[in-house]
């Protein structure tokens, strides 16, 4: 081998060695995330997941990371997953301010959890105080809005007390954007902030909003929910008894009655007002007339000329104060 060839071989070997060192250095500067797979139930709850990030051997504070999905965030030293009710699998890309990139797999799996065994899946329950407050605000506002309208302006579907409950409940869980407000013909100021956890009908149950069959929830039991439910089903399967003392009532709760001598055995009234001192209800048909929606002070109901309608524990026709199952709070 000539001297020139020997020098060429040495130079080539040096380049290969230098390249290998450079590759190892670049690999040592890569962003890595652990765990690489995160699996959580899509139960409507916000989730915190401990996570670690490194560039080579150097730890990276999670607050410095940004994710490709806005429902994923890094705060307080943990991965934060926003409430979700729809199952999905997604590759989440994460980067630092220096453009180091890593990824992990997020799986939100279907769940049939029913913490209270009342037939309502956990993913429908409103898990935050802000969402529960938003629901109550919209539910009572919608009921009072109907009471303020002329009969010709009330939606055609509202023909009795159960229909008023179904309407106000369903519309409270919508996304109240400009399109919704315009469709409702809303002129008065609305409550503003909507429920964030989920918007009807974007849930695994789709249009099925009201439970109509007894039993605890099962993922395969989709036909237990429907768009329609009568007053009895609303009381027995979609709400729970709080007390027979109206002093326990909060805005958005419901007073149920049972009048056996009337054509409709069950009747309902929505508790409204900041101090829970009003009720809104639909009378149902009165003789040949379609009936009307009324807004009445609760204290006047206590003095109702017909004792059957007084919301008192001593009145056997008064069944008590009920609350929607989605408002149940875990201890």
DSSP per-residue string spanning 49-83: EE-EEEETTEE--GGG-EESSTTEEEETTEEEE--
Q: What is the mean pLDDT of residues 98-122?
A: 93
Please check whether residues 165 and 309 belong to one and the same domain.
yes
Q: What pLDDT digit, counting tens, does each position of 317-331 carry?
A: 999 999 999 999 987
Tell me the pLDDT band of 99, cut-offs 50, 70 and 90: low
Query: In this structure, are 94 and 242 located in the same domain?
Result: no
- Tell me whether residue 4 is in a domain: no
Residue 168 lies in a domain: yes
User: Are 149 and 105 within one domain?
Assistant: no
- In this structure, the answer to whether residues 168 and 259 fall within a common structural domain is yes
Q: Answer yes or no: do 105 and 156 share one domain.
A: no
pLDDT single digits (tens) 130-169: 999 999 999 999 999 999 999 999 999 999 999 999 999 9
Q: Is the pLDDT of residue 270 over 80?
A: yes
Q: Are residues 284 and 140 in the same domain?
A: yes
On whether both 172 and 281 belong to a single domain, the answer is yes
pTM: 0.88
**Owning domain of residue 73:** 30-109
pLDDT band at 260 (very low <50, low <70, confident <90, very high): confident
| Distance (Å, whole) CA 102 – CA 56 | 12
- On whether both 316 and 270 belong to a single domain, the answer is yes
Same domain for 240 and 200? yes
Domain-embedded: residue 14: no
Does residue 23 fall inside a structural domain?
Answer: no
Tens-digit pLDDT profile for residues 46-64: 999 999 999 988 999 999 8
For residues 85 and 194, membership in a common domain is answered with no
- Using only C-alpha atoms, what is the Rg of the chain? 29
Q: How many domains does the chain have?
A: 2
DSSP 117-137: SSS--TTTS--SHHHHHHHHH
Please give the average per-residue pLDDT across 313-319, as a whole number: 96
Whether residue 149 is contained in a domain is answered as yes
Residue 287: predicted pLDDT: 87
């Amino acid at each position: 081998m000539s001297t020139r060839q020997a020098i060429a071989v040495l130079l080539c070997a040096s380049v290969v060695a230098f390249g290998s060192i450079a590759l190892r250095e670049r690999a040592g500067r890569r962003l890595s995330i652990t765990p690489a797979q995160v699996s959580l139930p899509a139960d409507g709850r916000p989730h915190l997941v401990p996570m670690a990030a490194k560039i080579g051997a150097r730890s990276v504070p999670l607050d410095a990371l940004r994710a490709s999905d806005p429902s994923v965030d890094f705060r307080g030293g943990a991965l934060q997953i926003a409430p979700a009710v729809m199952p999905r699998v997604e590759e989440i890309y994460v980067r630092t301010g220096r453009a180091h990139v890593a990824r992990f797999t997020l799986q939100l799996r279907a769940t049939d959890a029913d913490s209270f065994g009342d037939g309502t899946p956990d993913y429908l329950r409103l898990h935050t105080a802000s969402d529960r407050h938003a629901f109550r605000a919209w539910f009572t506002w919608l009921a009072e809005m109907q009471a303020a309208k002329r009969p010709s302006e009330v939606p055609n579907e509202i023909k009795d007390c159960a229909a008023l409950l179904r309407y106000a409940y369903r519309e409270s869980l919508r996304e109240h954007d400009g399109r919704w407000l315009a469709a409702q013909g809303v002129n008065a100021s609305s409550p503003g902030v909507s429920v964030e956890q989920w918007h009807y009908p974007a849930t695994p149950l789709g249009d099925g909003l009201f439970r109509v069959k007894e039993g605890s929830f099962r993922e395969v039991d989709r036909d237990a929910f429907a768009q329609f439910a009568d007053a009895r089903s609303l009381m027995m399967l979609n709400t729970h008894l709080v007390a027979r003392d109206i002093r326990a009532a909060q805005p958005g709760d419901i007073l149920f009655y049972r009048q056996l001598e009337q054509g409709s055995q069950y009747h309902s009234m929505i508790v409204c007002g900041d101090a829970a001192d009003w009720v809104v209800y639909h009378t149902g048909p009165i003789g040949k007339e379609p009936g009307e929606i009324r807004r009445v002070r609760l204290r006047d109901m206590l003095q109702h000329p017909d004792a059957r309608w007084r919301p008192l524990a001593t009145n056997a026709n008064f069944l008590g104060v009920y609350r929607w199952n989605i408002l149940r709070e875990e201890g």
